[in-house]
Structure 1
Amino acid sequence: MRTYLVGGAVRDALLERPVADRDHVVVGATPEQMLALGYKAVGKDFPVFLHPDNGEEYALARTERKTGRGYHGFAVHAEPSVTLEEDLARRDLTINAMARDEDGRLVDPFGGLRDIEQRVLRHVADAFVEDPVRLLRVARFAARFAPLGFRVADETMALMRRMVVDGEIDHLVPERVWQETRKALGEPQPSAFLRILREAGALKVLFPEIDALYGVPQRAEFHPEIDTGIHVEMVLDMAARLAPGNDLVGFCCLTHDLGKALTPTEILPSHLEHERRGIEPLQALAARLKVPTEHATLAEAVCRDHLNAHRALELKPTTVLKLLNALDALRRPERLDVFLTACEADARGRKAHENDTYPQADYLRQARAAAAAVGSADFVAKGLSGPAIGEAMARARAEAVGKVRSQIPTGN
């Protein structure tokens, strides 16, 4: 019985990155032996155990054999005779197919260390094409490691294109697509996720609403980058900069401009009413991928009202109050924070605008605080009741917002 540290822990240590999870492979053992040693069985599809002291995962070495379409179509073989190299051979990328033995020696049968040094994401074996999730994982790893200079190997990209052409990608279940997408939106460079999927031909299959944005022109005076798809990439990367790891902000940014793909060609490059047009494709995407309700709800708010946020300093106090109420921001200020971060990412996710300030965010936060400070007690004390209280509060809150606006220099 021999134990090895494997996967991400080995990779991240070699990259001198923080190691989050430590996973292990056990060679030459049976489930009964693991249980006898006090490990707790947790695996459903294959033997995985938790260490009795530190809770780290220990999986018995295994091989996998393709038996059907999709990522569920595998037969797992876990026996004491399975070797470490056989276990590592079933993994997706060479940088994830390394191990360290109990003495700390590196085991690297597929050149993972070489690919780390050369900054390459390369598949381990041609069996890569058998699991469509791997296409998403490569795109997600690209979003994580692109800032370090990593690229996808040409031969790996060729296999990814083959997975799309052969229809293997069509067997991905929505939950898994969302799981990988959500992780990608929290990575340092989410734009790489879109670029890799698009290069592989998978974006138009999995995210046709996003793919349709590429090639759609915008007005150059507002969007020097012109292409709407490129703009979305820039917004995603700005969101990662403003709110690292926040996939909720990321999803709002991913979907904020979907309506631009539906702009009538005769009015291009203008996009009048793209906010309204974007709601239907956003809802379709969220329903198809079974996106969490909070993600879908706030994404709709950003899609619908991001231009109102941009011109907040020009809006009437009553309109600002309407915007805050639509977000339920008086009761839930955290929703306003997500909304404003996504809107700031949109404003700064443009060529030559990356370092712009966004005073609208401070104004709307101050406006929210002023409006929220107006309570019902004073109006009850004045003898008001029923709908009259709500009407009086609305007027008072609008006045409070107006006072905040009057204190902001008009030059902003």
Structure 2
Amino acid sequence: MQTYLVGGAIRDALLGRPGSDRDWLVVGATPEEMVAQRFLPVGRDFPVFLHPTTREEYALARTERKSAPGYRGFTIHASPDVTLEQDLARRDLTINAIALPAALAGAGVDLHTEALVDPFHGQRDLRDKVLRHVTDAFREDPVRILRVARFAARFADFSVAPETLALMRGMVEAGEVDALVPERVWQELARGLMETTPSRMFEVLHDCGALARLLPEVAPSADRLRLLDGAARAGATLPVRFACLTQGLGPALMSLCERWRIPTDERDLALLVDRERAALDADATTAPAGQVALLERCDAFRRPARFTEALAACECLSGDAGWPPRARWLAALAAAQSVATDAVARTAQQAGATGPKIGEAIRAARVDAVAAAG
């Protein structure tokens, strides 16, 4: 039995970046031997175990063979006779197909060049800043198209190798991306949106033809991508970044959200920003009654945090870090929230008001508060 540190932890150490989670590969072992050493089995599709002390993941060396369309259509072979190089050969990119014996991977990563197992020249591609597929087996998993695009967003100064881009185009033309399930597409898109230069993800997807299949509503215009990167530089949340990506889609936005089962937080904020951005931008010309009406439409009294995120998205979309309406809308919300609605309701009831009339009294009090604050 031999154990190796593999993948992202080595890649990031070679790049001098903060460490990724450590993934371990075990060669020459059976599941029974792992359990006998008190490892906890957790893998559903292939043998993965948690270390009894560190709880880090240890996977048995395996090979994969395509057996059906899509990313789930694989036959897994994990046995003691699978070699380290065979396991590395099934990985996506050369920069992720480097291994280090566990004895040299203690608290840190001892990057002795001679000790690294690098049969596919990942170190060379790291130096040359190239994202390159390991073997032709890359074509068997369409999720890898999304992963390459995501890595391009993380490593913005890396290029995609021409032969890898050509392979990705061929996969798109063969309809492989059409077999992707919504949950996996969103998982990769979300991770890419949270990288440092998310525009690169959509540029790569566009270059290989996958964007037109997955997100035909999203035209990768220079202006859209510039504002998306601006949101990343501002440290915006995922819902804000998704709202920036999809702003201006109109009715097509709901179709996109339904097709890819976009989570509620991201979907609702994107729809809100798409619908109300123009009104939020025009706050200086909006009368107090109109301001309160917009706050109600945005559900700002029940969900003030989401309203604040909507303002953050509008600020990113304006390209102005000092977007004036943000402060004024926050002031209007604070003024309206200062109204003691219970007291207003009691007073209205004492005057004989019922039902909608009580709501009108509360709205009038909020309008007065906003007018006084303005």
Normalised by the length of structure 2, the TM-score is 0.93
Instruction: Work out the number of aligned pairs and report it.
Output: 360
Deviation at 1:136, TM superposition (A): 0.6
**Counterpart pick for 1:343 among 314, 333, 346:** 314
Q: Distance in 1 between matches of 2:287 and 2:367?
A: 9
Two-structure CA RMSD over aligned residues (Å) = 1.4
SS of the aligned residue for 1:234 comes to helix
1:366 aligns to 2:331 (yes or no):
yes
1:395 aligns to 2:360 (yes or no):
no
Aligned partner of 2:122 in structure 1 is 112
1:242 aligns to 2:234 (yes or no):
yes
1:190 and 1:236 in contact (8 A); partners too: yes
Q: Distance in 1 between matches of 2:253 and 2:189?
A: 15
SS of the aligned residue for 1:193 comes to helix
**Counterpart pick for 1:122 among 121, 132, 135:** 132
Q: Distance in 2 between matches of 1:79 and 1:319?
A: 68
1:49 aligns to 2:49 (yes or no):
yes
Q: Distance in 1 between matches of 2:17 and 2:296?
A: 43
Aligned partner of 2:78 in structure 1 is 78
Aligned partner of 2:209 in structure 1 is 201
Aligned partner of 1:296 in structure 2 is 267
Deviation at 1:38, TM superposition (A): 0.8
**Counterpart pick for 2:244 among 246, 249, 253:** 253
Deviation at 1:356, TM superposition (A): 5.1
* Correspondence list, 1:161-172, <5 A: 161-172=169-180
The unaligned stretches of length 5 or more in structure 2 are: 105-114
Q: Distance in 1 between matches of 2:196 and 2:131?
A: 17
Aligned partner of 2:108 in structure 1 is none
SS of the aligned residue for 1:196 comes to helix
Deviation at 1:381, TM superposition (A): 4.8
2:100 and 2:117 in contact (8 A); partners too: yes
* Correspondence list, 1:309-388, <5 A: 309-348=280-319, 357-382=322-347, 383-384=350-351, 385-386=353-354, 387-388=356-357
- Report percent identity of matched pairs: 52
Q: Distance in 2 between matches of 1:7 and 1:322?
A: 53
The unaligned stretches of length 5 or more in structure 1 are: 215-228, 259-277, 349-354, 406-412
* Correspondence list, 1:63-74, <5 A: 63-74=63-74
1:180 aligns to 2:172 (yes or no):
no
Deviation at 1:20, TM superposition (A): 3.5
1:243 and 1:249 in contact (8 A); partners too: no
2:345 and 2:361 in contact (8 A); partners too: no
1:243 and 1:341 in contact (8 A); partners too: no
Normalised by the length of structure 1, the TM-score is 0.84
**Counterpart pick for 1:192 among 183, 200, 203:** 200
Moved more, 235-244 or 372-381: 372-381
Deviations 1:332-375 (A, max 9, x none): 22101211111111100xxxxxx552121111112111111112
Aligned partner of 1:225 in structure 2 is none
**Counterpart pick for 1:131 among 141, 161, 164:** 141
Deviation at 1:198, TM superposition (A): 0.5
Deviation at 1:403, TM superposition (A): 2.9
Alignment-mate amino acid for residue 153 of structure 1 = A
Alignment-mate amino acid for residue 241 of structure 2 = G
2:315 and 2:321 in contact (8 A); partners too: no
Deviation at 1:378, TM superposition (A): 2.5
Deviations 1:136-166 (A, max 9, x none): 11011111110xx111111111111111112
